[in-house]
Structure 1
Amino acid sequence: MNRLISWRSALVITAMMLLPVILLVSNFHSGTELVRLRNAMVFNVISAQQSQWPGDQFPDSFKQEQAQLPAAIARVIITPDATANPLTLMLEQAAVLNLDQRRRGGAIQADVSTTLAQIQQQQGYCADYTEIINVFGHALAIPVREWALAFDGFGGHGHAINEIWDQQAQRWIMLDVFNGFYPVNQQQQPMSVLEFKQQLIADRSQIQLVRLSAKTFGFKDDAMALDYYYKGRHQFYLWWANNNISYDEHSLIKLAGSVSPHLEQMVAIISGQFPQLMAIAEPDNLHLINNMQRLKFMLWVLFYYELILALLLLAMLITLFTRRSRKA
């Protein structure tokens, strides 16, 4: 036993821990590929029908926001007009984001109060905007959820959008605040995300885009916008949470976030606080889904492999240092 517990054995275990991590990073080294790894760890599959629950009946597993508004958010919340429909109300609220001013972009990756302040200074990318729309929905009692679509097999090359619930019309309404529009059909009725997706495939000429501002529409024209979303038509997915405030306030996530955003996300995934990704399964994307499910299995096996070796290494180091202190 004494021979097994040695400094050389500790070095061997350290090498066994480092080698698979190095191999993994060498294959997934870019930012979008690192996002693929994150997405794989929380990857799940649902049908289109399973995503169509009404906004007043969120699934029990969906992490809904319950926290109080931070002061910086509460200060900008408008007084709701009881007669206004949810889309009108949300667009009035979203006006505080200065949607008529051109944006300089760049991911913010901060708490909701900081994100709001940065967006008002024309910073931020799509996921920052969806985060704030989630918070506005909570503040205005408008059910809201976040969708995304990918262009690289559910990796980091993609886009995020919101969907808000109209209780009176009993329908979800797609809203892309970052790119500055929402889609309507030929009858001028706002479309849901899946209606938009299905119409893109069937006949895109039936889709009209209502611009929030001529200055901040994210494309040269409607045709370019529809081409963009068409490329991701088989990679739509739901984030199974809208509790952005509660996420920010979680003590472990706060602590990890003070070190690194990557560590923050890893801690959130391991602790079960990171939202689950629900990919919409269809015949044309099963190969992409299978790839992500295999990657998910491999990553969780690697995680437990690393955990077991880390515990073994810790026990070995404690034993070695105890021996040294006794000899001294």
Structure 2
Amino acid sequence: MKSWISSTRAIALVLAALLALLVWVALQARPSTEAVRLRNALLFQVGTPADFDWRPEQRPASFATDTAVPDQPFADPVRGLALATQPDDWSRALQIANHLIRHARQGGAARSDLAGTYQQILAGSGYCADYTTTFIAMAGSAGMFAREWAFSFDGFGGHGHALIEIWDRQRQAWFMLDVFNNWVPLDASSNTPMSVAEFRHRLVQAPGSVRIERIGPGRFGFRNEAALWDYYRAGADQWYLWWGNAVYAYDASPATRWLGSLSRAAEQLGAVAVGVHPKVMAVPSATNAPLRERMLDLKQKLYAAFGLGSVLSLVLFSQLFIRWRRR
């Protein structure tokens, strides 16, 4: 029996099974937006109302945050913006956002660490998630708390958008900013900012009660306001909160730094493997139940595939070891 297990035919069968498994995963990861879906599926959880309605000082224990904020790379830019002179966190948030969006164009993913991403943003590059990550880092350096929201158009896959919600300590409230697209939602009657939850409610129920206010003189991310509303309505039932804002821990991880030099996908897969990538906390609704079920089903399939791949790899290693011992 041992001789057959380590035979060329047996090894070939295990290799063929491993190859078939890899081909299946590769097919699921095409195009690149589907690769993001696989990542999101691995991280996918379904939230409850309490998972989205909390204050930073009472945040859930599983919401990952940085235990320390290093001086670099944002201590000097934060001082240069004179954020301490601003009257409240909302004013500071607008100043950070205006600083980032000032030279923005329609750029691709930065594919760099925090310092490199910041420089690419100032040069006009970067995409929405680069802006949210950099904003969270700068806000943290200024003593503020921000969290990242996202929504998709393809069932929690890679075709979507990311934005910011900051906690205003003076008003004791969450306020939403779409940094990359250079706008914030305000109550049309009072001109006060609103939370993501309030905006999502009004997006469907009372869009006329929302006023679109540009953050600064940088480029507006839409052809006009009608296009903005169409864009947000298209993803209205596919929102999720990134379950953590530990951007400095992610940036300092040796796995993400080394794998990031290879590809963005490798970097993020490494971040998932070592536990520094935040989870996906989906906002449930009556209309997105099939989409959530599909993601949970995909999550189970991926875990099964990784488990089978691990077993096959162990079998292959054992086969090769037996053959080596018999030489």
Q: TM-score range by the shorter chain?
A: over 0.9
When residues 50 and 241 of structure 1 are mapped into structure 2, their CA distance, relative to the original with a 3 A threshold, is closer
Shift, 1:264, TM fit: 2.1
Residue range with higher mean Cα deviation, 137-146 or 100-109 = 100-109
Aligned to 1:56: 57
1:112 maps to 2:78: no
Aligned to 1:306: 309
Structure 2 counterpart of 1:115, which letter? T
1:251 maps to 2:250: no
Shift, 1:101, TM fit: 2.8
Residue range with higher mean Cα deviation, 123-132 or 103-112 = 103-112
Unaligned segments of structure 1, at least 5 residues: none
> 1:68 and 1:210 mapped to 2: Cα distance?
31
Q: For each residue in 1:200-220, what CA deviation from the matched residue of structure 2 results, as whole angstroms up to 9, or x when unmatched?
A: 100111111110234411112
1:323 maps to 2:326: yes
Residue range with higher mean Cα deviation, 274-283 or 309-318 = 309-318
Aligned to 1:15: 16
Map 1:151-300 to 2 at 5 A.
151-186=153-188, 187-300=190-303
Shift, 1:95, TM fit: 3.7
Shift, 1:169, TM fit: 1.4
Paired residue for 2:152, among 140, 150, 153?
Answer: 150
> 1:308 and 1:253 mapped to 2: Cα distance?
26
Residue range with higher mean Cα deviation, 111-120 or 305-314 = 305-314
Structure 2 counterpart of 1:171, which letter? A
When residues 70 and 114 of structure 1 are mapped into structure 2, their CA distance, relative to the original with a 3 A threshold, is farther
Structure 2 counterpart of 1:232, which letter? G
Q: Report if the CA contact (8 A) 2:111-2:260 is conserved.
A: no
> 1:259 and 1:27 mapped to 2: Cα distance?
20
**SS of equivalent residue, structure 2 residue 3:** coil
**SS of equivalent residue, structure 2 residue 56:** coil
**SS of equivalent residue, structure 2 residue 23:** helix
Q: Report if the CA contact (8 A) 2:97-2:215 is conserved.
A: no
What TM-score do you get using the length of structure 1 for normalisation? 0.94
Aligned to 1:87: 90
Shift, 1:168, TM fit: 2.2
Q: Report if the CA contact (8 A) 1:111-1:248 is conserved.
A: yes
Q: Report if the CA contact (8 A) 1:47-1:282 is conserved.
A: no
Structure 2 counterpart of 1:37, which letter? L
Aligned to 1:73: 74
Q: Which runs of at least 4 in structure 1 moved beyond 6 Å after TM superposition?
A: none
Q: Report if the CA contact (8 A) 2:113-2:257 is conserved.
A: no
Q: For each residue in 1:186-235, what CA deviation from the matched residue of structure 2 results, as whole angstroms up to 9, or x when unmatched?
A: 21110111111110100111111110234411112222111111111100
Q: Report if the CA contact (8 A) 1:100-1:216 is conserved.
A: yes
Aligned to 1:100: 102
Q: Report if the CA contact (8 A) 2:104-2:124 is conserved.
A: yes
Aligned-pair RMSD on alpha carbons?
Answer: 1.6
Structure 2 counterpart of 1:3, which letter? W
Residue range with higher mean Cα deviation, 266-275 or 65-74 = 65-74
> 1:167 and 1:7 mapped to 2: Cα distance?
67
Aligned to 2:125: 123
Aligned to 1:32: 33
Residue range with higher mean Cα deviation, 102-111 or 73-82 = 73-82
Structure 2 counterpart of 1:291, which letter? R
Residue range with higher mean Cα deviation, 21-30 or 122-131 = 21-30
> 2:29 and 2:318 mapped to 1: Cα distance?
31
Residue range with higher mean Cα deviation, 126-135 or 261-270 = 261-270
Unaligned segments of structure 2, at least 5 residues: none
Q: Report if the CA contact (8 A) 2:103-2:121 is conserved.
A: no
When residues 215 and 258 of structure 1 are mapped into structure 2, their CA distance, relative to the original with a 3 A threshold, is closer
> 2:243 and 2:218 mapped to 1: Cα distance?
32
Structure 1 counterpart of 2:318, which letter? A
Structure 2 counterpart of 1:203, which letter? A
Structure 2 counterpart of 1:216, which letter? R
Shift, 1:23, TM fit: 2.5
> 1:210 and 1:15 mapped to 2: Cα distance?
57
> 1:200 and 1:126 mapped to 2: Cα distance?
20
**SS of equivalent residue, structure 2 residue 167:** strand
When residues 189 and 146 of structure 1 are mapped into structure 2, their CA distance, relative to the original with a 3 A threshold, is same
Structure 2 counterpart of 1:197, which letter? R
How many residues align? The count is 323
